[in-house]
Amino acid sequence: MGVETTLPNRKDNNKVLHPSPEETNSISKSRKSRRRHRKMSPVQKLYETCKAVFSLCGAGIIPSSEDIQKLCSVLDAMRPVDFGLSPELPYERLTTAGRTPPITYLHLFECDKFSMGIFCLPPSGVIPLHNHPGMTVFSKLLFGTMHIKSYDWVVDAPEKTPTIENQQPTTENQNPAIENQKPTPENPIPSQVNAVAPPATRLAKVKVDADFTAPCDTKILYPADGGNMHCFTAVTACAVLDVLGPPYCDPDGRHCQYYLDIPFSQFTVDGVSVPEEEKEGYAWLQEIEKPDELAFVGALYSGPQIQEN
């Protein structure tokens, strides 16, 4: 059986075809979408990705593994130039008097679903040990070298509270000067024999304790895993981009808490034992007030702006 190959009528062949109004509108929208996609800055792309990833999330709700991978791929590709940053900026250097300047915070965006900001740390700058209650946090080191130490709670370990009094050292053998001594980051507890953990102290396991140098992969912590309590120490001038979902929210009681980490061997607690070779991987975390020496200074973000939609 043959296939018909006759040409169309010559009169019909001379017709000029015009797209319908609906087709014209569709073509126009498609072109605008392609132009917008081509011109989208990395910062705008980060915002759009976060908006999609955290749209259905809340306190304690973790994005899907696909969404986590999607956001990590965007963050992993980001560089300091995307935000107009460099190690030569004034807040990355020591002052003329040799004093360490405060940590600078550049606010990018915040809504009830997520927040984005950049912490710029001078050499030796420290963000002390703190937590992220109910939050999934993505940290991307943009430049420099930073030491990160993080912990997760040991789930089955007992929490030490003031109700246990029979283990307190007797005042008969206790030095009054030591008894009245308060813990500090440099001297977490007084030197006592068979000391007992102070109130609100819990056992935690070290998750990360290492230096990281940019460029490196994005670090993720989860509400109850991945190092929810962490400390940043700048080995060199560095900047870290933090994406938090959801952000800290005082009305929900999810404010930031600070901790002292105390060596595991410092205390003895009934029912808690760790093999000798593993003790370095554990510590007691004692909740404290925000350290007086901690100072953040807000600075105007001057990089590419976010267009909300």
Is the pLDDT assigned to residue 141 strictly greater than 60? yes
Could you tell me the pLDDT band of residue 293, with boundaries at 50, 70 and 90?
confident
**Domain 42-88+99-157+196-297, CATH:** 2.60.120.10
pLDDT, one tens digit per residue, over 50-92 is 999 999 998 999 999 999 999 999 999 999 999 999 887 665 5
pLDDT of residue 98: 54
The chain-wide mean pLDDT, for the chain, equals 79
Domain edges within the chain: 42-88+99-157+196-297
**What's the whole-number mean pLDDT along residues 126-148?**
96
Q: Which of 79-88, 166-175, 206-215, 299-308 has the lowest mean pLDDT?
A: 166-175
Higher-confidence residue: 2 or 239? 239
Task: Please write down the HEC assignment for all residues of the chain.
Answer: CCCCCCCCCHHHHCCCCCCCHHHHHHHHHHHHHHHHHHHCCHHHHHHHHHHHHCCCCCCCCCCCHHHHHHHHHHHHCCCHHHHCCCCCCHHHCCCCCCCCCCEEEEEEEECCCCEEEEEEECCCCEEEEECCCCCEEEEEEEECEEEEEEEEECCCCCCECCCCCCCCCCHHHCCHHHHCCCCCCCCCCCCCCCCCCCCCEEEEEEEEEEEEECCCCCEEEECCECCCEEEEEECCCEEEEEEEECCCEHHHCECCCEEEEEEHHHCCCCCCCCCHHHHHHEEEEEEECCCCCCCEEEECCCCCCCCCC
Q: Residue 161: what pLDDT?
A: 44
Assess whether pLDDT exceeds 60 at residue 164: no
Q: Which pTM value belongs to this model?
A: 0.74
Better pLDDT: 100 or 240 = 240
State residue 160's pLDDT score: 58
